[in-house]
Amino acid sequence: MMMVIRRFEEEAARHYAKGNIGGFLHLYIGQEAIAVAATEVLEDRDYIFQTYRDHGIALARGMPANAAMAELFGKDTGCSRGLGGSMHFFDVERGFLGGWGIVGGHLALAAGTAFKSKYAGEDRVTMCFFGEGSTNIGGFHEAMSLAGLWKLPVVFVCENNQYAMGTPLERTSPLKDLSIKAKGYGMVGDRFEGHDVEVVQERIAEAVARARAGDGPTFVEIQTYRFRGHSMSDPAKYRSRTELEQRKQQDPVALVRERLLGLGVDENALDDIDLEVDEEIDAAVRFADESAPAREEVMMSTVLAPEGDS
Minimum distance from CB of 165 to ligand TPP (Å)? 4
User: Which of 95, 133 has the CB closer to ligand TPP?
Assistant: 133
- 10 Å Cβ neighbour count for 101? 16
The C-alpha atoms of residue 192 and residue 224 are separated, in whole angstroms, by 9
Minimum distance from CB of 64 to ligand TPP (Å)? 24
Q: How far is CA 265 from CA 12, 26, 299, in A?
A: 30, 33, 49
C-beta nearest to ligand TPP: residue: 131
Minimum distance from CB of 77 to ligand TPP (Å)? 27
Minimum distance from CB of 158 to ligand TPP (Å)? 8
User: Which of 70, 158 has the CB closer to ligand TPP?
Assistant: 158
DSSP run (H or E) holding 284: helix 267-290
The C-alpha atoms of residue 19 and residue 24 are separated, in whole angstroms, by 12
Minimum distance from CB of 130 to ligand TPP (Å)? 6
DSSP run (H or E) holding 36: helix 32-40
The C-alpha atoms of residue 157 and residue 166 are separated, in whole angstroms, by 21
Q: Are 5 and 56 contacting, i.e. CB atoms less than 8 angstroms apart?
A: yes
Minimum distance from CB of 63 to ligand TPP (Å)? 19
Q: Give the binding site for ligand TPP (CB under 6 A).
A: 51, 53, 101-103, 130-134, 161, 163-165, 230
User: Which of 103, 127 has the CB closer to ligand TPP?
Assistant: 103
User: Which of 31, 113 has the CB closer to ligand TPP?
Assistant: 31
DSSP three-state, residue 99: strand
Q: If you compute the radius of gyration of the chain from its CA atoms, what whole number of angstroms results? A: 19
User: Which of 168, 293 has the CB closer to ligand TPP?
Assistant: 168
The C-alpha atoms of residue 134 and residue 294 are separated, in whole angstroms, by 31
* DSSP 8-state class, residue 169: G
Minimum distance from CB of 226 to ligand TPP (Å)? 7
User: Which of 171, 241 has the CB closer to ligand TPP?
Assistant: 171
List, in sequence order, every residue forming a beta bridge with 128; answer none if it has no partner. Answer: 49, 156
DSSP H stretches of helix in 48-195: 55-60, 65-72, 106-119, 138-149, 181-184
User: Which of 87, 208 has the CB closer to ligand TPP?
Assistant: 87
